[in-house]
Structure 1
Amino acid sequence: MQIVWLPQSICDNIGQTTRNFIWRDSNNKGIHLVGWEKITRPKRCGGLGIRPARDANISLLGKLVWDMVQTSRKLWVDLLSSKYVDGPKLLSCNLSSGSSTWSSITRATKSSKMFSLGVQVRDLLPFGSPLGPLLAALNHSSPMSIFMIYISRVDRSCLGSPVRSGFGSIIRNTFGHYLAGFSGFISGSSDILLAELYTIYKGLLLAKDMSIDELVYYSDSLHCVNLIKGPQVKYHVHAVLIQDIKDLLSQISVSLHHTLREGNPCADFFAKLGASSDVDFLTHTSPPEGVRDLLRNDAMRTLFIRE
């Protein structure tokens, strides 16, 4: 597991053995009271901290990737570097043929790019810090690039009588850490679709300003998602706004998805916050009071019935 990319069948067998140990008794019988996905979560997120076999395999091979990227003074590093690739160039190398060890390292390198290392300039400095662009430039010019996928959730809310339309969104990294959020109030409108589209538009602008490279955007409006992903609509009442969103989507790497309303509590909080205020647009660089518990539950993927 430390030097070879295990076949998927072996990883599946290891996982099955682990599940049998946890779920079954001495008579080889048992009831699955807790899902495997929850068991494999970190302990701080309510799980048992048991890593899936594939993740453990990638993690151990990642140590070899790190040694090669850092050009450690080790005999095997010198041997593979001289034969296949020079140190830091490993991250952009497409050569996968070679020995079993080299093939395993290249596969682990590609898989590691799908995960966040958890260290970003925007994690270390407050949003808007004048040192941010400088450190970001230094970071991207370093030998090892850091890959991060950000998650944004969007929602809108109409409250009171007369109706007040609000919108809001939240941006987090893959570990559920809060990065930014915003809320706002749309004066003189009760158009829910407009609020939803406007939220996505403002969220994409914020992500662009934060220099976010990879973004996964969730909205609980399936109609809105279909309008944006679908063909151009010239005669729609919100055609201009929809086209503006499409233009922004072409400028950064974004995948737009539909989610259930019950899976969007944090964005719902910001939308209600916007509807209850008179501010057109407000960026929250730190989590407001009342949303911290929701953030924790959202990071643990806990679903609640929405009020």
Structure 2
Amino acid sequence: MGGILCNYNGDVISSYASSLNYCKVIYAEMRGLAYGLELCFKLKVTNVVIEVDALSLIQLLNKNIMYYPEFIYILRKIKILMEGLNCTLVHIFREGNACADFLAKKGCLINGMEEFSSINLPQQLKGLVRLDKLGIPYIRSF
């Protein structure tokens, strides 16, 4: 899992990547979101636009239908955290979410959790952040 917190100018506040045991993709998305929301509270960031590339997660959070009963506790945690913030949840395609995608892939390669500030960002992530700030889309090669 992975995620990034930026201010309104697109400057990095914090980012994170973590390995997870084998799990469903939707659970990894939930864990990444929950950790990001906890980080917002820790850093006292209260006005938040949450960009998620998993449309199924947005649908789960917007409807009170439980498709995954095994994830009831993490979904409840996410909803409670979101209630404590002034936040908007929006869908963004993976190509528009290159920074978070990079961090999630990094999480697959590490053991445990890593957090990065603007000072110690991985070089490739710095480049992706620059592209985001300039409004230039990142084109993935297949």
TM-score (norm: length of structure 2): 0.91
- Alignment of 1:194 with 2:4, yes or no, is no
**Counterpart in the other structure of 1:114:** none
Cα distance in 2 for residues equivalent to 1:171 and 1:235? 27
Query: SS of 2:100's equivalent?
Result: helix
Higher strand residue share: 2
Say whether the 8 Å CA contact 2:4–2:15 is kept in structure 1.
yes
**Counterpart in the other structure of 1:240:** 73
Aligned length: 139
Give the CA deviation at 1:252: 1.2
Q: After superposition, where does 1:1-307 map in structure 2 within 5 Å?
A: 167-187=1-21, 189-231=22-64, 233=66, 236-279=69-112, 281-286=113-118, 287-307=121-141
- Structure-2 change in CA distance of 1:232 and 1:251 (3 Å): farther
Give the CA deviation at 1:221: 0.4
Query: SS of 2:123's equivalent?
Result: coil
Say whether the 8 Å CA contact 2:96–2:137 is kept in structure 1.
yes
Cα distance in 1 for residues equivalent to 2:6 and 2:68? 35
Give the CA deviation at 1:232: 5.0
Cα distance in 1 for residues equivalent to 2:68 and 2:17? 29
Say whether the 8 Å CA contact 2:16–2:114 is kept in structure 1.
yes
Greater radius of gyration (CA):
1
Q: Deviations over 1:229-256 (max 9, x none)?
A: 2115386221111111001111111111
Which amino acid in 2 is paired with 1:283? E
Q: Which has the higher contact order (CA 8 A, sep 6+)?
A: 2
Query: SS of 1:302's equivalent?
Result: coil
Which amino acid in 2 is paired with 1:282? E
Cα distance in 1 for residues equivalent to 2:11 and 2:80? 28
**Counterpart in the other structure of 1:33:** none
TM-score (norm: length of structure 1): 0.44
Give the CA deviation at 1:173: 0.9
Query: SS of 1:171's equivalent?
Result: strand
Q: Deviations over 1:7-42 (max 9, x none)?
A: xxxxxxxxxxxxxxxxxxxxxxxxxxxxxxxxxxxx
Query: SS of 1:278's equivalent?
Result: coil
- Structure-2 change in CA distance of 1:277 and 1:235 (3 Å): closer
- Structure-2 change in CA distance of 1:200 and 1:235 (3 Å): closer
Task: List structure 1 segments (4+ residues) > 6 angstroms apart after TM superposition.
Answer: none
Q: In structure 1, list runs of 5 or more residues that go unmatched.
A: 1-166
Q: Deviations over 1:260-307 (max 9, x none)?
A: 11101111111111111111x221123222211111101112113334
